[in-house]
Amino acid sequence: GEDVEQSLFLSVREGDSSVINCTYTDSSSTYLYWYKQEPGAGLQLLTYIFSNMDMKQDQRLTVLLNKKDKHLSLRIADTQTGDSAIYFCAESRDFGNEKLTFGTGTRLTIIP
């Protein structure tokens, strides 16, 4: 079945890099996503990666995918206080309207 796992908490000093990790079990996962959820808000898509890619960079965000180990990571460079949020890893078998399977989320806390 589908399962997506993440560590629950991460604390990082302001200005350092944050690395949030995720593992998934579904070998049919084709697209992998990172979402951000701030208090009282819905989910905001940060970035996604197709399973035939190893890396994707978008400004301060870098996504690394190890398909063999089914491991996904999100690196946030120069972490700021505004990055405090819960970050969810998600997967789907197709793009478009396939249902998303989410991890439990990682709460990122920034230390001033």
Partner 1 sequence: DAGVTQSPTHLIKTRGQQVTLRCSPKSGHDTVSWYQQALGQGPQFIFQYYEEEERQRGNFPDRFSGHQFPNYSSELNVNALLLGDSALYLCASSPWDSYGYTFGSGTRLTVV
Least spacing, CB of residue 24 vs partner 1, in Å: 12
CA separation for the pair 25, 87 (Å, rounded): 19
- Residue 59 or 97: the one with the smaller Cβ distance to partner 1 is 97
For residues 91 and 39, is the Cβ–Cβ distance under 8 A? Answer: no
Closest CA to 4 of 82, 93, 80: 93
Least spacing, CB of residue 61 vs partner 1, in Å: 18
- Residue 79 or 88: the one with the smaller Cβ distance to partner 1 is 88
- Residue 1 or 82: the one with the smaller Cβ distance to partner 1 is 1
Least spacing, CB of residue 78 vs partner 1, in Å: 26
Q: Which residues contact 101 (CB under 8 A, 6 or more apart)?
A: 2, 3, 4, 24, 26, 90, 91, 92
> What are the residues binding partner 1 (CB under 8 A)?
4, 40-45, 88, 90, 95-105
